[in-house]
Structure formats: C-alpha cells, structure tokens
Structure 1
C-alpha cells in the first residue's frame, strides 16, 4: 500500500483529551504506511513531541478572527501544496469550513469526528443545526468517540464509534518512596481522605459542585484534601467560592500539571461531576491506575471497564449519595484484571490505531 498522508485538525497542541488521543495513535501508527500532519489553533506542550516524529504543524488563527473565507482559502492552499489523501477534523460541528475546503481541493477522504455531545456555547439552535448539517454534508466518513457524541453531531446519519485509547505503556506505578515524597510535597497527612479532579475551569466541569461537597464533608468532620488540577477562565471564581465556603485548608489548586498519571495514584477517589463529557479519557486513566471514580450519570458508558471502579450518580439527586460513595471503601482491583479489561474492550492504543487507520483506506 502506498503511503497515505492525513491532515488532522485539532484545537490545540497542548495537553487535552483530543490531542492526547491523537498523539497516542500517531505514536502507534505504522509510519511507513501513514503520515500525519496537523492544523491547530494554539501552540502547546505537545508541539515538540509531534514535530520530532516528523509531522508538520500549521497554526491558524481562529475562524472568528480571520473570517471563514480566509480560513477556507488557507486550508485549501495547504491541501493543494501538500497533496493529502485524507483530512480528519476533530472539531465536530465546527468542521464545516475545513471539510468544504477539502472538498473543493478534491481530497477523497474527509473524516468528521465528534468528541462531544453538547454545544454549550451555542444558544442559536438554527445556526447550530445548519453547521452540523453542512459539516455532515461535506464529510465522507463520520466517527464519534461515543454513541452520545455521534447522535448529537450526526443526528440520524450512520456513524462509527471509535473510542479514545489508553496507552498502557505510559502508566508507571509509583514506588512507596515516590508516593511518600509526593505526599510530603502536597502536604497530605496520614488519615487524609484524598480526593482529586482533573479538568479545565469551565462551566461544564461543574467545579462549584465539588466545593459544595468539600464543605459538607468538612461539616461532617471528615478530614479531606481535594486537589483541583487544571486551569481556565473560572479558576478565580472557584477560588472565591472556596473562601466563601471556608474550605481553604481542604482544597488545593494545582494548576496545569504534566504528571497526571502520577497524581492519580495519590488519590483515594477521583471525582468527575461534569454536566457532560464526549468520552472522558481521564476516567480511563483513573481506572488504569486502579483509582475508584465517582462520576455524573450523564457521562458515556463506553469509558467504563466494568471492573467496579466507576460509580455513576445523578447530579440532581441528593448530595448525600455522593458523600456516601466518597467515604465508602473500595475493594482493590488487580492490575492484570485492568489490563485484560482494556484489551477485551478494545481500548488499547494498538487496537484503536488499527481501527482509525482503516478509515483512511
């Protein structure tokens, strides 16, 4: 088979679910058969890793900044100059302009990939519906990270579900000495119930719910440390809420971290009360680390390894049910069982890579 050149459209080259997924896939791809390049809108910490693997990255201004016509012209020029066999857009219903440029450039394989099941920032349903329809119209193949994400973006059109993978080789079990050192750095005391959350400070992640939980746990005399990992526009608002609820000694803001897989191993429970998630790769990472997670019932079930580590709860139900789940001790899950479940569900990076590359043939 001749070498296939694929251009991926990703929001950023910084750490995040979509970028991490595509980097893991690119790492496992047979580079004598497939070559990946990228268009992105923000330069981030994956930039060097991607370029070191021989990929080009074309950075574009947001469409809202340069206008759709200028964006289409720029993408069209890239496609014509580089002669790609496929364009794979990971921006969901926003993909219409990329896919239109690809269609005009004569790219035979145009992949529309949905990673979310809600358009939180869109109040105009007419425009949203039009964007989705035009994106689907200009695509030749439809992919979603979960059933819900596909139904949201593609309506009743047939699509393929290809879940986000987990790269098992990236998981390094912390030694007792490493755990002791990290706990000392984070001021975790013996007897603390260590809770963690990883996600940007944006409305959908529902950080205010976590602070309410922390306040109730403190009222009940339960010694907790809640670590919030990430950054974002609502961070200062949540810091203010922490002060108002008088839980400063219980809640720590860790900012942007690159050692997520190590931090996860310090947590007794991982909390994800999101209003929605397209897939929730961090839940897969938590399970691989053997950490029990308590999550909102709206989240996709495709991420559940069915080994008893995920506990789904209603956000609109009694908060006491969340507290009960937090304080309940979990049975330790054997690491081999976790690895076997990853393989059985086909969520390992090698299997997902083969599925995705088959789309380009």
Structure 2
C-alpha cells in the first residue's frame, strides 16, 4: 500500500482560531490514507489542537518566530528544513507576514507554494505597517493564491490578482450536520449553564482579540440589559483580552448575567443555547463561526464591515457599529420569534460550505500538485 503524500502547513499556532478551524476541518474530512498534514508553528504551549493533530497522524515542527533581527537565522532554518525533509512537495502557507520569505525558499527547493489569506487587515500602528509592507511580494511569489473570501483575496493580493487563473476562493468548510439544531441538546446545555428556559441569550464564539470587538459587545449588552433584565450574554473563547473583558463585565455590573466558559472544542453545543448570534468584528476574512451559526438556524447580527461572502442565508443582518439602537431593535425582533432549526431552503444554500465537499476538492488539488513538486 502506498504511503500518503504529506502536505506542509505553516500556520504559526495550533491554538484555537479561525485559520486553525479551517485547516482542522479539512484535515478531519480528507482521506488520510491518501493525504496527510504536517505543521510548522512558532514556539508556544502545547495545548488545544496538538493532541488532535497527533491522533490524526500529523507531525509538528517548531520554527523561530520572525523578529526582523533574526532574518538570516530564520532563512537558514527554512533552508535547512527543506534540505532535511525532501518528502514535502507542497507547502500551504497561512502565515502571511513572512510568506514572501518562506515561500520563496520553498520554491527554491522545488515545492509547489500556496498562500492563503484569512483576513482583511493587519491592524494599525507600526506593526501593521511592517506586515503590510512584507506581504506585498506574496502575489508574485506564490504559485497559488487562496482566500477565504474575495474581500480577503483583494486585500492581500490586489484586485487584478483575483482575476488570475491561480487564484481560488476556498470556502471555510463547516460540518453542517454537527452544527444542526437539536431541541433536546438546547434544553440540556441551557440547564448545565444555569440558563432559564425563557431567558433571551445573546451569544458569541471567537478568540478574545482586538478584531473581534468584545469591548463593544459588552457595552451593547450592558446597555440593553438595563431595560431587558431576562437576558444573558454567552461568550465562548479564549485569548489575550479574556481577563480584560471579564473585568469590563464586572465594572459594568453585569458579571452575573455573563457566561464565559473559555476555549472549548464542543462549540456546537453552545450554539444550541443561544437565541441570537452577535458578531461585531472590526475586520474579518470570512468568519467560520458565522457559517456555523447559520447552520444552527441562528439569526446572525454582524457588523457591516464583514464580507458579504458570509451572507449565505436569510439569517444574516448587517448592522452599523455606530448605532446601538439598531442592534437593540434587532434583539427585540429576534426575542419575539420562536427558536428553530434552519429551513431546508437555507440548508441548501449552505451546501458549497459543507466541509466534506471542500475537503474533497482540496484533496484532489493537493494530489495533483504533489506530482508537480520537486
């Protein structure tokens, strides 16, 4: 029996996040007797997805974090790596800030190179400026330009590049069955979380980082709660701002109405407990959690800066971040409706985002490209 080909993913971290959710969705749904994934990450605590990767047969390599000052050491690490590991014919890069460096080295060693855009911003300040500058050559270096949405593709590669034959918009696949609504699960999860049957639950799933805009979400809930006492805020995730947001809830006097269970692998259960999914991000590529929430039948109230590529059903409402009253009106409208599963019509619209379909398309792509490498 032939050994599977091995595709190398450079992903910076195996802690929970959007690009990680995408890769693991593909990894769980490909035929691993034909295609195996291995990962290059930067130094970090071995938690979250490490055990899952190991169970699925993946290998994890640790490369130094790029600081600028270690440019030559960083290049040497990648050169040495490809020399020592000739088994890799394809590299899929999810780290855009240094992609123009490691993809160029990979090409020199004969690999087929894929760049993947998962975002639409590098943030502000000097760090954002440096990242923006470093990523400019990517469109000229990578063999293939992938993006989670066309908005993310235009942002990273430029509009002209998105019309090239080597550009592909790859949907962030979701296991539609896993995230489907289940009334019995809803009752059980709400009971476990101490949520009353009639309480209106505003929910969010995402890392506690600046782009997700948790600060606004807490302000929004605190103000809405003043005149709507029977409601709770459920925020699932972890990240560098977790404690700051927890303190914000305490300072606003709403801590007893806010549930923050941290980082979880069973996110499908938490969607069941929600009545509205709220996603007020400052910028995004294509948020997987918004697709998952739609699969669960949840009305999704999201900021109007988020790509229209995620507008897959009639469950999406785009709202401005400078007008809280509009969000409150939508809360009231959702609260007045019965919680139910996704309609057949909406489920049909989600089919292009089905994780099994996306995984099979990528599997065929990897197998074709592996023959071209070296």
TM above 0.5, yes or no, is yes
User: Matches of 1:82 and 1:302 in 2, distance apart?
Assistant: 38
The residue number in structure 2 matching 1:56 is 59
Query: Quick check: 120-129 or 268-277, which moved more?
Result: 120-129
- The reply on whether 1:184 has 2:191 as its aligned counterpart is yes
Counterpart among 315, 322, 326 of residue 321 in structure 2: 315
Structure 1 residues 134 and 223, CA gap change in structure 2 (3 angstroms): same
The residue number in structure 2 matching 1:284 is 291
Q: Any stretches of 5+ residues in structure 2 without a counterpart?
A: 369-374
- The reply on whether 1:130 has 2:133 as its aligned counterpart is yes
User: Matches of 1:273 and 1:125 in 2, distance apart?
Assistant: 21
Q: Is the 8 A contact 1:142 1:160 kept in 2?
A: yes
Equivalent runs, 1:132-281 vs 2, <5 Å:
132-155=135-158, 156-158=160-162, 159-171=167-179, 173-174=181-182, 176=184, 178-281=185-288
Q: Is the 8 A contact 1:174 1:262 kept in 2?
A: no
Structure 1 residues 34 and 184, CA gap change in structure 2 (3 angstroms): closer
User: Matches of 1:355 and 1:179 in 2, distance apart?
Assistant: 33
1:64 partner SS? coil
Query: Quick check: 167-176 or 77-86, which moved more?
Result: 167-176
User: Matches of 1:279 and 1:181 in 2, distance apart?
Assistant: 30
The residue number in structure 1 matching 2:71 is 68
Query: Quick check: 36-45 or 145-154, which moved more?
Result: 36-45
TM-score, normalisation: structure 2:
0.87
Structure 1 residues 249 and 45, CA gap change in structure 2 (3 angstroms): closer
- The reply on whether 1:14 has 2:15 as its aligned counterpart is yes
The residue number in structure 1 matching 2:104 is 100
1:40 Cα shift? 1.6
The residue number in structure 2 matching 1:38 is 39
Instruction: Provide, for residues 159-200 of structure 1, a one-character-per-residue CA deviation record: whole Å limited to 9, x for no partner.
Output: 221111012343365452x43332233221232111111122
Q: Is the 8 A contact 2:180 2:342 kept in 1?
A: no
TM-score, normalisation: structure 1:
0.90
1:26 Cα shift? 1.9
User: Matches of 1:64 and 1:263 in 2, distance apart?
Assistant: 38
Structure 1 residues 124 and 214, CA gap change in structure 2 (3 angstroms): closer
Q: Any stretches of 5+ residues in structure 1 without a counterpart?
A: none
The residue number in structure 2 matching 1:85 is 89
User: Matches of 2:234 and 2:60 in 1, distance apart?
Assistant: 34
1:352 partner SS? helix
